[in-house]
């Protein structure tokens, strides 16, 4: 099958040499069982190439399943791909086949393969090398005959450096690489795609087809299209529905192109971004907790030194003193008129009694409590001992010790 026939079958629009080269590689590798890694930005149509490979292969009569690895939760992705046994985890009420078992004899398309957890990557590598896998909760090794076509919009070498992707799996998947060019590298195809989408939407919504004036065509071609074909299709649909005039000029088109000015300017990256580092919210919380733990440890050392009677070395600086004993603000200082003096004597407030200095000796307090208890019970030592919560023998001893006269 020729490249043009493939384009006609799958509705691929464009005459770019880069696009033709990618289709030609897919056509040549399809009859083999080699693993294929399709790379390209989001919205470039990577899934169509997996369909081309499956249709032109000897497995075209077998099953073909597309799996979005980024849409499956990390806790269940092993069960989804490789299956599980009954009772292997909470909610596993019956055994279930995984995708690799269901697609036996066919092709499986793993989209966003860079989002796979590292432990799942190990199991995937085992399937690619030997065709063997083990269900979750089982010890029985099973065989499968599946061709794997993977796709990602992530820079895999950078992910390997950050420890997010296994290098051995990358080389196993990247047996035959196919790069789908972004729309900005296919400028000769942009207007063709716009006309195709405009005709489709006019037929769907029963309305006249929109057309671009020359200056609008130039703007359309020079735009960077970060969303690629998906974004171009959405913009065309918006113009077809919202614009009453079907002759679109540059000013009208500019309203539907977000960030036209900022997308063409260079972007300054932070040092963390250049090094591929990520500063997540969890790491920030850990840093704050570690700093608090360090401060608390230092405070414990200072308190322990003070309680043991040792000297604590604190910085004798003006800034440290001001921090502990801040100087009074100007608003806190009361300015008096000449001849007016402020009394420094304590002010007596009605209803409040001034605290008297009392002895804090335990012996004196105990002596006083014994005397009050004996007086209250009119010399009955047994009743006094019961109220004090001590034995009568102890009360006798205390009376003799303190020489309390009844």
Average pLDDT in the 246-250 region? 91
Please check the confidence at residue 351 and state whether its pLDDT lies above 70.
no
Poorest-pLDDT segment among 67-71, 81-85, 114-118, 329-333: 329-333
Query: Three-state SS for 268?
Result: coil
Please check the confidence at residue 156 and state whether its pLDDT lies above 50.
yes
Please check the confidence at residue 254 and state whether its pLDDT lies above 70.
yes
Please check the confidence at residue 375 and state whether its pLDDT lies above 60.
yes
Query: Within 13 Å of residue 353, how many CA atoms lie on the same side as its CB?
Result: 3
Going by C-beta distance under 8 Å and a sequence separation of 6 or more, which residues neighbour residue 136?
Answer: 78, 79, 82, 83, 84, 85, 88, 89
State the Cα–Cα distance between residues 210 and 240, nearest whole angstrom: 6
| More confident site: 232 or 364 | 232
Render pLDDT for 19-42 as a digit per residue (tens, 0 to 9): 999 999 999 999 999 999 999 999
Give me 281's structure tokens.
Answer: 């919210």
267 and 232 Cβ atoms separated by less than 8 Å:
no
pLDDT of residue 386: 86
DSSP 131: S
pLDDT of residue 293: 83
pLDDT of residue 285: 80
* Angstrom distances, CA of residue 202 to CA of 118, 161, 196, 249: 47, 48, 10, 18
Query: Three-state SS for 141?
Result: strand
State the Cα–Cα distance between residues 360 and 358, nearest whole angstrom: 6
Please check the confidence at residue 69 and state whether its pLDDT lies above 60.
yes
pLDDT of residue 406: 66
User: Could you tell me which of 55, 125, 137, 57 has the C-alpha nearest to residue 92?
Assistant: 137
pLDDT of residue 364: 81
Poorest-pLDDT segment among 97-101, 105-109, 134-138, 306-310: 306-310
110 and 50 Cβ atoms separated by less than 8 Å:
no
244 and 282 Cβ atoms separated by less than 8 Å:
no
| More confident site: 67 or 309 | 67
As a whole-number percent, the residues of the chain with pLDDT over 70 amount to: 81
pLDDT of residue 287: 79
pLDDT of residue 311: 59
Q: Give 313's pLDDT tier (boundaries 50, 70, 90).
A: low
State the Cα–Cα distance between residues 12 and 193, nearest whole angstrom: 9
Please check the confidence at residue 81 and state whether its pLDDT lies above 70.
yes
pLDDT of residue 325: 47
The domains found in the chain, sorted by start residue, are: 3-181 (3.40.50.300), 186-260 (1.10.8.60), 362-402 (1.10.10)
Neighbours of 8 (CB within 10 A): 11
pLDDT of residue 376: 85
Question: What is the pTM for the complete model shown?
Answer: 0.63
Q: Give 334's pLDDT tier (boundaries 50, 70, 90).
A: very low
Residue 111 β-bridge partners: 68, 151
pLDDT of residue 270: 47
Q: Give 304's pLDDT tier (boundaries 50, 70, 90).
A: confident
Average pLDDT in the 62-73 region? 93
State the Cα–Cα distance between residues 248 and 284, nearest whole angstrom: 49
Please check the confidence at residue 326 and state whether its pLDDT lies above 60.
no
Average pLDDT, the chain: 83
State the Cα–Cα distance between residues 41 and 151, nearest whole angstrom: 10
Helix (H) or strand (E) holding 128: helix 118-130
pLDDT of residue 263: 43
Average pLDDT in the 59-70 region? 93
pLDDT of residue 213: 93
| More confident site: 298 or 180 | 180
Render pLDDT for 195-205 as a digit per residue (tens, 0 to 9): 999 999 999 99
99 and 142 Cβ atoms separated by less than 8 Å:
no
DSSP 65: E
Nearest-5° Cα angle at 235, 212 to 17: 75
Please check the confidence at residue 265 and state whether its pLDDT lies above 60.
no
Nearest-5° Cα angle at 146, 141 to 152: 115
Strands 176-179 and 141-143 come out as unpaired
Q: Highest-confidence range of 155-164, 273-282, 313-322, by mean pLDDT?
A: 155-164
pLDDT of residue 108: 95
């Amino acid at each position: 099958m020729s490249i043009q026939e493939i384009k006609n079958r799958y509705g691929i629009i464009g005459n770019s040499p880069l696009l033709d080269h990618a289709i030609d590689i897919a056509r040549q590798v399809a009859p083999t069982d080699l693993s294929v890694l399709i790379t390209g930005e989001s919205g470039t149509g990577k899934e169509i190439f997996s369909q081309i490979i499956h249709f032109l292969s000897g497995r075209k009569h077998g099953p073909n399943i597309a799996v979005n690895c980024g849409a499956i939760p990390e806790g269940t992705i092993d069960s989804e791909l490789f299956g599980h046994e009954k009772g292997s985890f909470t909610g596993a009420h019956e055994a279930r086949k995984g995708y690799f078992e269901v697609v036996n004899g066919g092709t499986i398309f793993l989209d966003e393969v860079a989002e796979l957890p590292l432990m799942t990557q190990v199991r995937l590598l085992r399937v690619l090398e030997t065709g063997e896998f083990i269900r979750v909760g089982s010890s029985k090794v099973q065989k499968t005959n599946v061709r794997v076509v993977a796709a990602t919009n992530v820079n895999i070498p950078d992910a390997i450096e950050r420890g997010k992707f296994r290098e051995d799996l990358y080389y196993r998947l990247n047996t035959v690489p196919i790069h789908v060019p972004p729309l900005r590298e296919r400028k000769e195809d942009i207007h063709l795609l716009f006309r195709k989408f405009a005709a489709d939407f006019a037929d769907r919504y029963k309305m006249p087809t929109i057309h671009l004036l020359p200056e609008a065509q130039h703007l359309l071609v020079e735009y960077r299209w970060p969303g690629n074909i998906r974004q171009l299709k959405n913009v065309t649909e918006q113009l077809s529905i919202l614009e009453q005039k079907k002759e679109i000029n540059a000013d009208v088109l500019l309203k539907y192109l977000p960030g036209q000015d900022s997308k063409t300017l260079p972007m300054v990256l932070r040092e963390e971004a250049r090094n591929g580092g990520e500063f997540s919210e969890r790491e920030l919380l850990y840093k704050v907790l570690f700093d608090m733990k360090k401060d608390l440890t230092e405070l414990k050392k200072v308190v322990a030194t003070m309680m043991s009677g040792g000297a604590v070395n604190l910085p004798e600086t003006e800034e440290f003193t001001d921090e502990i004993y801040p100087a009074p603000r100007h608003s806190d200082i009361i300015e008096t008129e000449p001849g007016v003096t402020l009394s420094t004597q304590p002010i007596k407030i009605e209803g409040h009694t001034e605290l008297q200095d009392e002895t804090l000796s335990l012996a004196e307090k105990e002596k006083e409590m014994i005397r009050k208890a004996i007086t209250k019970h009119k010399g009955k030592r047994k009743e006094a001992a019961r109220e004090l919560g001590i034995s009568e023998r102890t009360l006798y001893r205390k009376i003799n010790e303190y020489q309390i006269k009844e």
